[in-house]
A and B are shown apart, each in its own frame.
Chain A
């Protein structure tokens, strides 16, 4: 900014002229009049008209303000950063579940202790970042680092707090450990397999669970795998020192129809650890004539199946791990007449001619021409029922997880659970700072000058004489 700019000088000269005019206006000169009779009345009237005097002064001041502010604007003043501090972008990797930061204030203090700079924080979405940090879209760690690198491109330096060292991060700036001490015994994975509960966690004290029996424990590096057998419908699982999650048993309910009342039938679904419906909505109906989804047996008519061969898709889910020879499909001599509204799974063919369907699907009902469940060995029958239910529900009961988390995504990421202290990598160079762009003020000053000029014009228009002339001689 310099007032030596010629537009500014011109404006200042205008201001000087205005001041001279104003001075001339307020300076007193003598004028002789015959009598002060009328003038004294005018003066008395003006003394009570404060607004008029103020208006007169306002015009002068507004004009002067417009000129002076305009001169200032013509000098192109700019607001400079008094001391340009380097700007540092700080990435903080979450340590809690769902992107939460467990000890954010402490990490921010550690960042600021790195040196005198302006620190802006970046974190993945999910944590409480409002007003504290810039939110990144999130995702896997390499995706988060890429997002951070792009978002912090204009910064002078980067600082990253990570749960584990990362080669990609080392190229971006100084990498510091996210935690100040190794995290231990933090569960980051829970799964079930049949009636087994499998936990993955960082190595820590030996883990015990109430209402669950530890079956297996293995250690690989700092990771620990524990297999439990739950003994109760609900299991409380401590995630770390302060938090825990709950698991509950997933029940498999079957409805039993009139065709499924025999002890042999009952033994089958009990072998699958299914419970008969007791006022609850069944996952599948067995032997019901009208309920669905369901498995119905003895749906065929007597047909001579002598010399019949069978057409089927061995990859079909119904035949998974099943030996077809374990079943005597023609023993009941029953087959279902082909029906275009059904989809055959196992079809009997005699002399190259289909004589009927042995197994078929009608919507969400699996129809069997005979009852292969009681006419074969129980081990094979259980496997067939397991597959048949899998065809209807998409999940075989034998593969079904027996327990499920009730607290949703309440587990931290593996990196967060295994967070450890490591040697800082890289340097934080705070010696250079990008020159901050000066804030140009001319536009705003010109706007102010225009407002002042407009105000002066308005005041001037209000002061225009509007009274009538006295009578002329």
Chain B
């Protein structure tokens, strides 16, 4: 659970590029944006040009404009122009748990979302931070994520409450957290859904949270609650835990289904490809 200062190292950035390339291959060059699957049809209408920035998709270069004007311009569509993604990162202490820690992988997912949005000319906002626009400012976004350490007493639900309190709800909202909290705290997300916010929830759980090993009688110390619970972790208890976790996940899935959220569950030891391609794409999202 120690903080890794290099969570966004060069190797990670290369993996982002590889992820982007992989997504482009899967989707072709249709120029579709990064929003969830709820409102995509009929919105990829050509709107105009914008200057080329390093890292832009060369397949969208307008070669005719280059021939006429001698400068690179990128074709811009309605959806891309309107792309504004808000990322709500769970910074509660419970995200410290896991090996690797959940908050590391959660921030990498948030970083990947930001990269993909910025790569497509959109704007990404880490909840509680200033918006970032343009891929050249991606490092600024990463800095925001580096500072988002898991020290908060509350989970993503409190951040969602702040977003919901705004007069204008986010257009696209990605929530990255463990969602191990009473589900009635997700009420702000429900209200935002009713205000046409497209919600994607990426639930990151530690491997030990998904399949806890037996260990006799233990003092379980809750990082979020800062209290201990004495329990005998034998096989029967593990079974009971799995059943309770399954019940919690099913309840969350039911809420997501009812409100049109995209829900993906991953463990903190997974890789980005499996999350974005194996889960989010499979769930109908278009990351």
Interface residues, chain A, CB within 8 Å of chain B? 24-43, 45-46, 52, 56, 463-473
Contacts and interface: CB of A to CB of B under 8 A. Distances in A.
B220 interface: yes
B150 to A, nearest CB: 9
Contact of B217 (A25, A37, A468): A25
B70 to A, nearest CB: 50
Nearest to B224: A35
B23 interface: no
Interface in B178-205: 178, 180-182, 205
B41 to A, nearest CB: 30
B222 A33 contact: yes
B35 to A, nearest CB: 23
Contacts of A471: 246, 249, 265
30 contacts: A24-B216, A25-B216, A26-B217, A27-B216, A28-B217, A28-B219, A29-B216, A30-B218, A31-B219, A33-B97, A33-B222, A34-B95, A35-B97, A35-B181, A35-B223, A35-B224, A36-B220, A36-B222, A36-B227, A39-B220, A40-B229, A42-B240, A45-B244, A56-B232, A56-B236, A463-B236, A467-B242, A468-B243, A473-B205, A473-B210
Nearest to B269: A473
A464 B235 contact: yes
Nearest to A462: B236
Q: How large is the interface on B (under 10, 10 to 19, 20 to 34, 35 or more residues)?
A: 35 or more
B208 interface: yes
B238 interface: yes
A34 B96 contact: yes
Nearest to B182: A37
Contact of A38 (B96, B180, B216): B180
Contacts of B274: 473
Contacts of B172: none
A32 B248 CA distance: 20
A52 B236 contact: yes
A473 B270 contact: yes
Contacts of B98: 34
A28 B224 contact: no
B125 interface: no
A341 B237 CA distance: 106
B3 interface: no
Contacts of B95: 34
Nearest to A32: B221
Contacts of A463: 234-236
B182 A465 contact: no
B211 interface: yes
B245 interface: yes
B262 interface: no
A434 B223 CA distance: 76
A34 B209 contact: yes
A467 B240 contact: yes
A32 to B, nearest CB: 5
A436 B79 CA distance: 104
A282 B279 CA distance: 122
A469 B246 CA distance: 8
A39 B241 contact: yes
A33 B209 contact: yes
Contacts of B237: 42, 46
B22 interface: no
Given A26-B216, A33-B208, A33-B223, 15 more contacts: A30-B221, A31-B218, A32-B1, A33-B221, A34-B94, A34-B224, A35-B94, A35-B97, A35-B222, A38-B241, A38-B248, A39-B241, A463-B234, A463-B235, A471-B249
Contact of B243 (A24, A31, A467): A467
